[in-house]
Chain A
Amino acid sequence: RKEVEQDPGPFNVPEGATVAFNCTYSNSASQSFFWYRQDCRKEPKLLMSVYSSGNEDGRFTAQLNRASQYISLLIRDSKLSDSATYLCVVSLGAGNMLTFGGGTRLMVKP
């Protein structure tokens, strides 16, 4: 079993749609949780950290359920520029290695 599992997609959605990605992790000792975005043939870039209370950044909302070891990302009002691969990432805390899921590919169409 992979440590971090994601649906690889692709998710094909029209502009303006709301799309949700899910992720599960196996290590209950994980302390830090993130969503990274990776454009084709580029490096991953931090989209947002995920907190137990849930957090929102503009059109993006992330939630964490520690009991179920489940992380989600919701994108509202999708833009063409949101097309990318979204990587679910966990770590044991500051200074520790990042464990990545396989990524979920999103394609937003006009």
Chain B
Amino acid sequence: DAGVTQSPTHLIKTRGQHVTLRCSPISGHKSVSWYQQVLGQGPQFIFQYYEKEERGRGNFPDRFSARQFPNYSSELNVNALLLGDSALYLCASSIVKGIDEQFFGPGTRLTVL
């Protein structure tokens, strides 16, 4: 079975630009969460979506937004990129009901110059 997939794998942008990251969850998983991992730190929670509705939001500015589609895939959008947005962006999917485990995709490595 395919795991969580993310695209693109790597991305280079300049300050002020906009970026869209994509995630496809494991088949049958209805929840998608996004995390940002800056080099040398643990992942930080950005958003969670379940059944196309936002269920949680971390401490990130409004430049960060996301959505979930009817097929449960998800997009993370970041506007007005800053140098500090350079990080590994991880998507995780889960069944949610009664199951704790979240399965992570390989991530998108974003570099902002």
**Of B40, B43, B56, B58, which contacts A96 at CB under 8 A?**
B56
A97-B56, A97-B58 known; A44-B43 Cβ under 8 A:
yes
Q: How near does chain A come to B29, taking the closest CB pair, in angstroms?
A: 12
Q: What band does the interface of chain B fall in when counting residues whose beta carbon is under 8 Å from A?
A: 20 to 34
Residues A99 and B45 in contact, CB atoms below 8 Å apart: yes
The interface residues of chain A lying within 8 Å CB-to-CB of B7 are: none
A94 contacts B48, CB within 8 Å?
A: no
Which A residues are within 8 Å of any B CB, using their own CB?
4, 32, 34, 41-46, 49, 87, 91, 93-103
Interface residues of chain A: helix, strand, loop or mixed (majority): loop
Alpha-carbon distance A41/B90, docked complex (angstroms): 11
Q: In the assembled complex, which residues on chain A have CB atoms less than 8 Å from the CB atom of B90?
A: 43-44
Chain B residues close to A by CB (< 8 Å)? 31, 33, 35, 40-45, 48, 50, 55-56, 58, 88, 90, 92, 94, 96-107, 109
Nearest CB in chain A: distance from B46 CB, A: 9
Partner of A98, one of B97, B102, B106: B102
Are A100 and B107 in contact, CB atoms less than 8 angstroms apart? no
Residues of B within 8 A of A97 (CB): 33, 45, 48, 56, 58
Q: With the chains together, A71 CA to B59 CA distance in Å? A: 25
